[in-house]
Structure 1
Amino acid sequence: MRIVFHGENAASFSNGFAELLDAKADIRVLPDVLSGADREAYAAADVIVATKFDASLPVPPGLKLFHVPGAGYDAVDLAALPPATTLCNCFGHEQAIAEYVMSALLARNIPLSSADTDLRKGQWTYWAGAPERVHGEIAGTTIGLLGFGHIGKAIAARAKAFEMKVVVANRSKVATSALVDRAFTLDQLDEFWGSADAIVVSVPFTDETKGIVGTDALAKMRPDAVIINVGRGPTIDEAALYEALKQKTIGGAIIDTWYQYPGPGRANPQPSALPFHELPNIVMTPHMSGWTTGTIRRRQQTIADNVGRRLKGEACINVVREGRNTP
């Protein structure tokens, strides 16, 4: 069995992977840009773990499984994959992303870093006992979840543990429950935008969701509301977000997914063509919310389990496209 981990992202899942398999395997880690012997090894693979596949890459005639080591598979050209290849993705990042969201909301309300900095200078800025020194809390506030998949559900569970109210907007109907106080469908977004103190965007990037948070949506949000993006950057209109923050028509933003990323010839770009980095009311992070040791461990196990299932002719989990002529 020949398994290829293609690219820097996929290589992160290769360490210790052999120990998770039931059978011996020839495991190769290949760079993002293939040449010479690397292309030959790629073309000979039975299993490829990678974030992208297109016509520029060799077509492995015996490829049984192409596994994306994450949820998004928009960089995989389904038409270019061999017909017999099963395509799977994996999740396991919802725990980490939910912790990121909750820590971001807590940090907006509980100024630990500022209090520590000030007290080291002898300044008792947040000392209990006077109303001008109070800080906030998240209990009793409302969190709005645009998208209620793996990530949305994980955030809702943690928000409820902090005694928050949870409202949801989702493509398919969501019933009210112990986790959900109120639910909207996507044709009710005008009502959803103003219903929460914090709105978390976790919908996937599709033609339907591109710019789903635009000028009108931002204008309908509460003036002190914060928007958090842990889905895909372009689900929030870039110019509309910048203008809302610059004009302070919303309370702020916490953005982890962006419009520009590092790539060939662009090692450390700003994450947007617009100067978000000059604004004081945004927290900017480099697409890190789901990238934890726990995420890597959980995704490794999912990939290894699917390798075993595919080679035994058993049904895989998280199937995006079933390969034809499955053994």
Structure 2
Amino acid sequence: MMTIAISNKISDEERTFYEESFKDIAQYHFLNGLPANEQEEKLSLCNLLISRNPTVEMPGLSAKAFKNISFVQLLSAGFDHLDFSKFPSTCVVAGNMGAYANSMAEHGTGMILALAKELLNHHHEMQDGIFNQFNSQSQSIFNKTIGIIGFGGIGQKIAKIFQEGFDCKVYAVNTSGVTDKKVDWIGTLQNIDHLLKESDFIVITIPLTAQTENLIGDRELSLVKDDAILINLARGQIINEKALFEKLSTTETFKVGIDAWWTEPFFVKEFSMNYPFLKMKNVLGSPHNSAMVSGMLLESSKLGVSNVLKYIKTGKAERILDLSDHKTFY
């Protein structure tokens, strides 16, 4: 019987879920809240690890504690902030991509609608006593083109919303340049210029890697329509901060929704910007909370645990990460 370490902080509801899921299937240890020496002792007895953020949850543990871990199930979708150096080289690591697709698709859609309809700016005008009914035209959503950079679970959900709700065309970019989903055009990062030129709305949901760092810079932004709306749900570092500020400053009709920032408390213990994005009328910001809806932590655990159970029963799992050229950004 395999032994599982669960290092993420859990609620009573999540604890019950884990206990019911692994009953008669595996032994398990909850590591959160234990002193480092107890964490190390229990982890060294385990074959599998379930973790939301192993770098933060087990900071004082030596590589020796991980020696028997053969499979790691992350509960987070992103993994650019994680250090895998303590894991054995033969260890298989699975991500949790798709766990937050519904909530993040809702958030991205909400940002596009709010920016297209100038909702925040009109609200602030009315706070100042300005009731501008007839000289406040907004941007239509119907029959436009939405470009999705990173056509995974989140991007596919957004595509469906805009196809079925607003009769939009969908242009997409993924790693292979092919998909079995309904799209009007799909390519790879090598073809991204076509997506940038043709799209009225652009949503970034691609992972941050050495390849996608500063993916969107001066040249790429020069290709984007002057009245386009750009939404970043992924990581701040995918867009060059200076280039974005200059585009926004020189093109007032260009609008941006930023959920993922360059310097965030989760990663480096502070929130800061090099440019005053939140003072700009063509920017809408949110505190990287696109995934944070009620019950989401339990739901993400359910997807992760289903993958663990598949691994225990078959020796195979889904969403395996390729860490051969992994780069840690924080």
Query: Which TM class, normalised by the smaller chain length?
Result: 0.7 to 0.9
In structure 2, what is the equivalent of residue 164 of structure 1?
168
- Which one of 93, 97, 104 corresponds to residue 111 of structure 2? 104
Q: Provide the rounded CA distance (Å) in 2 between the counterparts of 1:114 and 1:244.
A: 19
CA shift in 2, pair 1:192/1:119, >3 Å: closer
In structure 1, what is the equivalent of residue 241 of structure 2?
238
**Residues 195-204 or 4-13, more deviating:** 4-13
In structure 2, what is the equivalent of residue 308 of structure 1?
309
In structure 1, what is the equivalent of residue 194 of structure 2?
191
Q: Percent identity?
A: 23
User: When the two structures are superposed, what TM-score results if normalisation uses the length of structure 1?
Assistant: 0.80
In structure 2, what is the equivalent of residue 4 of structure 1?
5
**Structure 1 unaligned regions, length at least 5:** 323-327
2:277 is aligned with 1:279? no
In structure 1, what is the equivalent of residue 30 of structure 2?
28
Summarize the alignment of residues 66-77 of structure 1 with structure 2, pairs less than 5 Å apart.
66-77=72-83
Instruction: Report SS of the residue matched to 1:48.
Output: strand
In structure 1, what is the equivalent of residue 66 of structure 2?
60
2:96 is aligned with 1:94? no
**Structure 2 unaligned regions, length at least 5:** 324-330
CA shift in 2, pair 1:231/1:119, >3 Å: closer
2:56 is aligned with 1:49? no
Instruction: Report SS of the residue matched to 1:41.
Output: helix
In structure 1, what is the equivalent of residue 327 of structure 2?
none
Is residue 18–residue 25 contact of structure 1 (8 Å, CA) maintained in 2? no
CA shift in 2, pair 1:280/1:16, >3 Å: same
Instruction: Report SS of the residue matched to 2:284.
Output: strand
**Residues 204-213 or 307-316, more deviating:** 307-316
CA shift in 2, pair 1:275/1:2, >3 Å: farther
Count of residue correspondences? 314
User: When the two structures are superposed, what TM-score results if normalisation uses the length of structure 2?
Assistant: 0.79
RMSD after superposition: 3.6
Is residue 44–residue 61 contact of structure 1 (8 Å, CA) maintained in 2? no
Is residue 88–residue 321 contact of structure 1 (8 Å, CA) maintained in 2? no
Deviation at 1:174, TM superposition (A): 3.2
Q: Provide the rounded CA distance (Å) in 2 between the counterparts of 1:174 and 1:132.
A: 44
Q: Provide the rounded CA distance (Å) in 2 between the counterparts of 1:225 and 1:168.
A: 16
**Residues 37-46 or 98-107, more deviating:** 37-46
CA shift in 2, pair 1:75/1:120, >3 Å: closer
